[in-house]
Amino acid sequence: MRVAVTGAAGRIGRRLMPGLAEAGHDVRGIDVVRPHEPWADRVVVADLATDDAALTDVLTGVEAVVHLAAIAGESDFGAALDSHVGLTHRVLEGARRLNVGRIVYASSNHAVGFTPRESMVPIGTRVRPDTFYGFGKAAAEALCSLYHDRHGLSIACLRIGSFRQRPSTRRELSTWLSVGDAIRLVDACVTSSDLGFAVVYGISNNARAWWDLAPGRAIGYHPVDDAERWAAEIEATPPSEVDEHDGRHVGGAFARRGV
Ligand code: 15L
């Protein structure tokens, strides 16, 4: 598949660019900064928020766009609206206009972060953002739903957990998404023959997972990594204040009352 990645030089983008190419896709990217990577010539350096020509350039002729570009944490309300809702609107409009039939949207677990910790949180749980960041992601998921229903775009919204080389906290024993599984997840979204509109949790096959992986498996995502491998090492350290906050809601330390 011909795939465009926004935020190609970011933490996830830098891994997806070569990972999707290794999986056989023809990948190009866009970012405000040039990545220091051997594949940097595949990235258009431009601001997606303002540069219409660059947006058109990167989306022309692709079959899928993986939209990662955004502020990757909490900000103020206006910045969250611009970064998550405004930018996603530009990408969805561009996709509609240029006949890109498939979008993979990097949402976040923080769209439901104020959900109390339970044994298994279904994908249909009430939207319960823990921050303006999570609110922006939830709103952008709703916008994706509109573009699916109104324009027929196939869209996956990935509620990504903790994308890391390895887990390093108690919470991450449940929320970890390995690099390999992230590539498998996006590859499944890009190649699924029946994507429609899907919201899936982006985590590895963690023994302690509290997010339901069934919707992911339904579109062909079969994670292989498990954070449990690091459990003994992580649990040997004394629990910290962060661990205590992390333990209350699925969004962990993002979900704090009164801040
Ligand atoms: C996210 O969405 C953030 O981008 C990332 O920095 C982590 O905090 C992650 O969620 C998480 O919940 O661990």
Q: Whose CA is nearest to atom 11 of ligand 1?
A: 162
- Residue 246 is predicted with a pLDDT of 74
Note whether residue 35 is domain-resident.
Answer: yes
Helices (H) and strands (E) in the chain, counts: 10, 9
Is residue 49 one of the residues assigned to a domain? yes
> How many CA atoms does the CB half-sphere of 85 hold within 13 Å?
16
CB atoms within 10 A of CB 202: 29
Please report whether residue 135 resides in a domain: yes
For residues 92 and 182, give the distance between their C-alpha atoms in angstroms, rounded to a whole number: 22
- DSSP secondary structure letters along 64-75: EEEE--S--S--
Q: How far is the CA of 161 from the centre of ligand 1 (A)?
A: 6
Pocket-forming residues, ligand 1, beta carbon under 6 Å = 72-73, 108-110, 160-162, 175, 252
Q: Residue 49 belongs to what domain range? A: 2-254
- The set of catalytic residues is 133
Q: What is the arithmetic mean of pLDDT over 51-76?
A: 98
Closest CA to 205 of 188, 186, 228: 228
Distance 249 CA to ligand 1 centre (A): 14
Q: Is residue 259 part of a domain?
A: no
**Ligand 1, atom 1: nearest CA belongs to which residue?**
108
For 115-174, write each residue's pLDDT tens digit. Answer: 999 889 999 999 999 999 999 999 999 999 999 999 999 999 999 999 999 999 999 999
Q: CA-to-CA distance for 186 and 193, rounded, in angstroms?
A: 14
Looking at the CA of residue 113, tell me the nearest atom of ligand 1.
Answer: 12
- For residue 192, give the CATH number of its domain: 3.40.50.720
Both tokens of 4, joined, read 């465009």
For the entire predicted model, the pTM comes to 0.97
If pLDDT is split at 50, 70 and 90, which confidence band does 44 have? Answer: very high
Percentage of residues of the chain with pLDDT beyond 90: 93
Q: Yes or no: say if 171 and 247 are a contact pair by the CB < 8 Å rule.
A: yes
Structure confidence by residue, pLDDT tens digits, 211-239: 999 999 999 999 999 999 999 999 999 98
Residue 242 has pLDDT above 90, yes or no: no
Ligand 1 atom closest to 133 (CA)? 2
Of 112, 162, 210, 250, the one to substitute when testing ligand 1's pocket (max ligand atoms within 8 A of C-beta) is: 162
Question: pLDDT grade, residue 247 (50/70/90)?
Answer: confident
pLDDT at 245 over 80: no
Tally of domains within the chain: 1
Percentage of the chain exceeding pLDDT 70? 100
Over residues 184-214, the pLDDT tens digits come to 999 999 999 999 999 999 999 999 999 999 9
Atom of ligand 1 nearest to the CA of 72: 4
Higher pLDDT, 239 or 81: 81
